[in-house]
Structure 1
Amino acid sequence: MNIVLAIIVVIAIIVAIFSGLNAALSWLLWVAIIVGIIALIAFLFRLVGGRNRV
């Protein structure tokens, strides 16, 4: 019985770690998308602004 309990605890810890990583990766994906959109907007403003480069 103790072995089964230990296996269940180990599986629960592994699932908690992987679900936490999945949530963290999902959050980082959204942050990367938002930062990419901001960079694209800044690039378009520079392109449309037509600053002269010497």
Structure 2
Amino acid sequence: MENAWKEYENDLNAMTDEQIERECQSAQAQLDEAESWLDAVALWRAAGSPRKVSKT
């Protein structure tokens, strides 16, 4: 794990610290959204996958 950063070595060398921080913040936001979605789907499934039928 300690060498995992080497996969992104070229990217990291080409970016400023500010760019790296913005990318980290963006990735964290995406991760948070994905975790929220997966939690919601798990709870929805546990509730029997209920769906509301629209009346048209």
TM range (shorter): 0.5 to 0.7
Letter in 2 for 1:29: A
Q: Which runs of 5+ in 1 are unaligned?
A: 39-54
Per the alignment, residue 45 of structure 2 pairs with 32
* Identical residues among aligned pairs (%): 8
Q: CA RMSD in A?
A: 1.9
Gaps spanning 5+ residues in structure 2: where?
1-14, 51-56
Number of aligned positions between the proteins: 36
Q: C-alpha separation between the residues in 1 aligned to 2:23 and 2:37? A: 21
Other-structure match for 2:26: 13
Query: Per-residue CA shift, 1:13-38, capped at 9, x if unaligned?
Result: 000001100000000000000016x8
